[in-house]
Amino acid sequence: MAAERTKAEEAQATLNERLHAARDRMEKCLESLGRELGTIRTGRASPALVERLVVDYYGAPTPLQTLAGISVPEPSQLAIKPYDRSALSAIEKAIQKSDLGLNPSNDGEMIRITIPQLNEERRKDLVKVVHRKAEEARVAVRNVRRDEADHLKKVEKDGHVGKDEVEGKLADLQKTTDQYIGRVDEAQRHKEAEVLEV
């Protein structure tokens, strides 16, 4: 009898762990969306635009944020000051090769980038990109829900937990999913407003 109770307790702990794991994975989906949206250009300067650019630094692909300090001296300007001045031209090339459409200005000490204002057509294109990234995040959150629901149903099938308990956990999982989908929607609305702001 004690062994049975232990298995039931283990199964209950597994249910709780699955919900916790689902929250963690959904949070990671949201963080990933935040990073993706940060790279989408608006009319304002943001270090997130360039910090993930990969620079060919002495033959090794290196993220820009590890090679230089990135600051915003003015609302429409980025300043990139490399820790090693010999990396200036490599950083400049990486910015020119990127699909950001930015023109770096190298003064021998640092690189300055003036962020041009977006035209209406480009804003509409960027809104579509924001929508696509948000939809990818929603799909990722739903995939987490599906995976975790399958795990919960498996615990029930193994016979150590009652159907009512699993149904309750599935309802909790759906509530969590709805919360994260709401947060994705909010991030999308916020970024679209930022892109459309003139």
Q: Write down the residue that tokens 């003015």 correspond to.
A: 74
Residue 112: the pLDDT is 92
Domain of residue 78, CATH code: 3.30.1360.40
- Same domain assignment for residues 165 and 101: no
Residues 123 and 56 in one domain: no
Question: How far does CA 9 lie from the centroid of its chain?
Answer: 36
Whether residue 72 is found in the same domain as residue 15: no
106: phi then psi, degrees, rounded to nearest 5? -100, 120
pLDDT of residue 43: 67
Q: pLDDT, tens digit, for every residue of 148-194?
A: 999 888 888 887 778 888 888 899 999 999 999 999 999 999 999 88
Q: Do 59 and 92 fall within a single domain?
A: yes
Looking at residue 116, its pLDDT comes to 76
Q: pTM for the complete prediction?
A: 0.69
| C-alpha R_g of the chain | 23
Q: How far apart are CA 122 and CA 3, in angstroms?
A: 65
